[in-house]
């Protein structure tokens, strides 16, 4: 463990603006490595693909989830990948 070093960091850019309780916006995702990208989902359901070597963003999908005053606590727990190798 002594030889481990941080390779890169990534910031989603979500700061909780427009939420009734911005301080309750949490990020608890477990990234998924698949198809040569590292995928994560933010607390507001934005899906991001990163280059696993450099940490650079490859793409981002924002489904435009409503985040108005009625939203008091937002947090995402997990995202997963399932691939069926032989469907027969």
Please tell me the predicted confidence (pLDDT) of residue 46. Answer: 84
Asked if residues 64 and 18 have their Cβ atoms less than 8 Å apart, the reply is no
Distance CA 53, CA 42 (A): 20
Give this prediction's pTM.
0.68
Contact 18, 65 (CB under 8 A): no
Spatial separation of the C-alpha atoms in residues 50 and 5, rounded to whole Å: 19
Q: What is the pLDDT of residues 16-39, one digit of tens each?
A: 565 555 566 666 778 888 889 999
């Amino acid at each position: 463990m002594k030889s481990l070093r941080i390779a890169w960091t990534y910031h989603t850019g979500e700061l909780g603006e427009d939420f009734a309780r911005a301080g309750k916006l949490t990020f608890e995702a477990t990234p998924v490595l698949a198809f040569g990208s590292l995928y994560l989902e933010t607390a507001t359901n934005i899906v991001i693909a990163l280059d696993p070597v450099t940490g650079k963003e490859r793409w981002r999908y924002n489904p435009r989830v409503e985040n108005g005053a009625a939203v008091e606590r937002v947090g995402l727990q997990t995202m997963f990948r399932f691939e069926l190798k032989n469907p027969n």
